[in-house]
Amino acid sequence: MSPLENLLKDDVRLPSPPLIAVRILDLVKRDNFSFHRLGEIIQADPALTGRILRLANSSCYAMPKKVSNFDTAIAMLGGNAVMNIALSFIISQCFQGKRGDRFDFGLLWRRSVTSAVAGQLIASEIGMKSDDVFITSLLQDIGIGAMFLSRREDYLAVLDEKTVSGCMLSSVERKIFEFDHQEAGSSLLKMWGLPESVYLPILYHHEPENAPLAIQHLCQIIQASDQLSAVYYGSGSVKNAHRVKNLLWNSFQIDEGRAMQLIDAVAQKSDEVLSQFNIQSENTPSFSEILQNANEELSRLNISSQTLIIEYREAKQKADKLAAELKVANDKLRSVVCRDGLTGLYNHRFFQESLGSELEFAERNRLSVSVIMFDIDNFKGINDSYGHHCGDLALQAVGNYLLRTSRASDIAARYGGDEFIILLRDTPLEGARIRAETICDELASVSIDYNGVQFGITGSFGVAAYDPRVPMTRTELANLVDKAMYESKSKGRNRVSVQREIA
């Protein structure tokens, strides 16, 4: 059994045609069937009769005068047309009560009724007389409902894949089900006993060019009715309107102006017909109204997007300013944490931390690191003679000198009070000693002016080095250089002493 036969055969999830439909269809099969007998069957259901009359009187059928009773309906519309209207109501009713979580049966039927109205209006626009336009346009997608009811999960997978891939619905259906909703709908209606004039056009409504010649025109109308209802129930009204206008021109030479009127008329007239199908309709706006609203919305959006751009620029400027301020604040913070406030040199804490990491680096890379430490000689005397402020200026002068003359790779710090220390990366003891001698000499040669009073300063220097061949700790190196410096003090100040080994 083919997958489609499987779907149709004994599937309890599919609705079966109600008794009244069976009676009508049985009657139609007889050669000598009379419209009088059709009237008897239909009028046994007063609600159905009322609906048929209301539909016959709707602007969709454009009757020259009011259809007041069933016989007039048969006389004016023709027996076949009335029978098709009756079947349209009956069949749509069997599906209307169905529910499906993520599947919107309500939308399917609203769209189907809109297609039926569209089909009817297109037919009258091109002057085509056919009793089958309304019912075939209405039931064209009945296969979708049947496929969903029979294999819910698979059909939800179809809808998901269509959304993701953007492929045609029919081709995704064929991939997952091995048949599409044209075949499913057509076969179901055939199985229920509907005439060939109804089920055959449905089989070709997406591909009228493949339909038998006699029904090609009808298939084109169904296809156009589907595309027209997509203006109101598909995604992308403007794109769909453009598509249906092209189709209406190519298939029926309906020009753009008439096509627009037709598209608008479908919205107006479908509300009336929807209510006869017991489908709630909220005044469907015409395509022109949709377009107008969209244009207004677009201009509002344009204005708000310009405002947004301005606001964005302002916000960005604020954020940039804030980021710049934050950077300055961070730099300050870093400086407070690492630098000495008086001299601008690195502080004791920063130096100690750096010394540890620098020694590790030197050990890993087998490099030398030297340290120069010096203390201002008789500094107390400066404070005492010229005041604390003058002492500060002297300390600042030393700081400026060190900042100006140190290599970028050196770490010059105020170690505390009148004590300074310099770390020289990748520098052996002798290099550091030469550098210490230079600082010592230059410091001694500088004359500091304080309120017209000139005075000079000297320092006592100690030099020690880390030799990668004789590893030592941070404390050992600090002690070594401290010792060297005190040697200079003890030897008479204003000099450089070198300490080579840990005592």
Binding residues for ligand GH3, per CB under 6 A? 342, 375-380, 383, 388, 391-392, 395, 417-418, 489, 493
> By the 8 A CB rule, do 205 and 214 touch?
no
Return the number of the residue (173 or 418) whose C-beta is nearest ligand GH3.
Answer: 418
CB of 453 to ligand GH3, least distance (A): 15
Which of ligand GH3, Mg ion, none does 206 bind, CB closer than 5 to 8 A by kind?
none
| Calpha distance 478→474 (Å, rounded) | 6
Residues 6+ apart with CB under 8 A from 56: 63, 67, 73, 76, 77, 82, 85
Least distance from Mg ion to the Cβ atom of residue 347, Å: 18
386 binds, among Mg ion, ligand GH3, none (CB under 5 to 8 A by kind): none
Q: Of these partners, Mg ion, ligand GH3, none, which one is at the site of residue 455 (CB under 5 to 8 Å by kind)?
A: none
391 binds, among Mg ion, ligand GH3, none (CB under 5 to 8 A by kind): ligand GH3
Of 485, 477, 474, whose CA–CA distance to 501 is shortest?
Answer: 477
Which of 173/375 has CB closer to ligand GH3?
375
List of residues contacting Mg ion (CB under 5 A): 375-376, 379, 418
**Whose Cβ is closer to ligand GH3: residue 14's or residue 439's?**
439
- Which of ligand GH3, Mg ion, none has residue 210 at its interface (CB below 5 to 8 Å by kind)? none
Question: How far, in Å, CA of 285 to CA of 293, rounded?
Answer: 10
Closest approach of Mg ion to the CB of residue 400, in Å: 19
CB of 454 to ligand GH3, least distance (A): 18
CB of 418 to Mg ion, least distance (A): 4
Minimum distance of ligand GH3 from residue 466's CB (angstroms): 26
At how many degrees (to 10) do helices 70-77 and 79-96 cross?
A: 110
How open is the CA angle 491-497-502, to the nearest 5 degrees? 110
Nearer to Mg ion, 190 or 493 (CB): 493
Residue nearer to Mg ion on the CB measure, 155 or 420: 420
Residue 424 partner contact from ligand GH3, Mg ion, none using kind-dependent CB cut-offs of 5 to 8 Å: none
**CB closer to ligand GH3, 294 vs 342:** 342
Local structure of residue 265 (DSSP, 8 states): H
**Under a CB-based contact definition with an 8 Å cutoff, are residues 268 and 237 in contact?**
no
Question: Taking the CB of residue 62, how many other CB atoms lie within 10 A of it?
Answer: 10
Look up residue 437 and give its amino acid: E
Q: Which long-range contacts (CB under 8 A, 24 or more apart) does 65-74 make?
A: 70/39, 70/42, 70/43, 71/39, 74/35, 74/38, 74/39
Query: 270: closest CA among 237, 228, 239?
Result: 228
Pick between residue 132 and residue 377 the one whose CB is nearest to ligand GH3: 377
CB of 436 to Mg ion, least distance (A): 16
